[in-house]
Amino acid sequence: MLVACGMQRCHQEALKKNRVVLAKQLVLKELLEHMIEKDVITTEMVESIQAKSGSFSQNVEFLNLLPKRGPNAFSAFCEALRETKQQHLEAMILKTTSNLSHGIARLEHCYGSNLPFSASESSNSKRPRWVEPMEHSLDNGDGPPIPPVKYCTPEFYHDHRHLAYKLISEPRGLALILSNIHFSSEKDLEYRAGGDVDCTSLEMLFKHLGYQVTVFHDQTAQEMQNSLERFSKLPDHRDVDSCIVALLSHGVEGGVYGSDGKLLQLQEAFRLFDNANCPNLQNKPKMFFIQACRGDETDRGVDQRDGKEWSDSPGCEESDANKEENLKLRLPTCSDMICGYACLKGTAAMRNTKRGSWYIEALTSVFAEDSRDTHVADMLVKVNRQIKQREGYAPGTEFHRCKEMSEYCSTLCRDLYLFPGYLPGK
The set of catalytic residues is 250, 293
Cα 287 to Cα 199: distance, rounded to the nearest angstrom:
16
Cα 262 to Cα 291: distance, rounded to the nearest angstrom:
17
Cα 176 to Cα 215: distance, rounded to the nearest angstrom:
6
Over its C-alpha atoms, the chain yields an Rg (Å, rounded) of 24
Instruction: Please return the burial class of 224, using the count of CB atoms within 10 Å of its CB with bins 0-12, 13-18 and 19+.
Output: buried
Cα 360 to Cα 351: distance, rounded to the nearest angstrom:
9
Sign of CA dihedral 233, 238, 239, 240: positive
3-state helix, strand, coil in the chain (%, to 5): 40, 15, 50
Cα 196 to Cα 176: distance, rounded to the nearest angstrom:
15
* CA-to-CA separations, 263 to 42, 207, 219, in angstroms, rounded: 10, 29, 11
CA 100 to chain centre: 31
* Amino acid letter, residue 19: R
Residue pair 144/356 in contact (Cβ under 8 Å)? The answer is yes
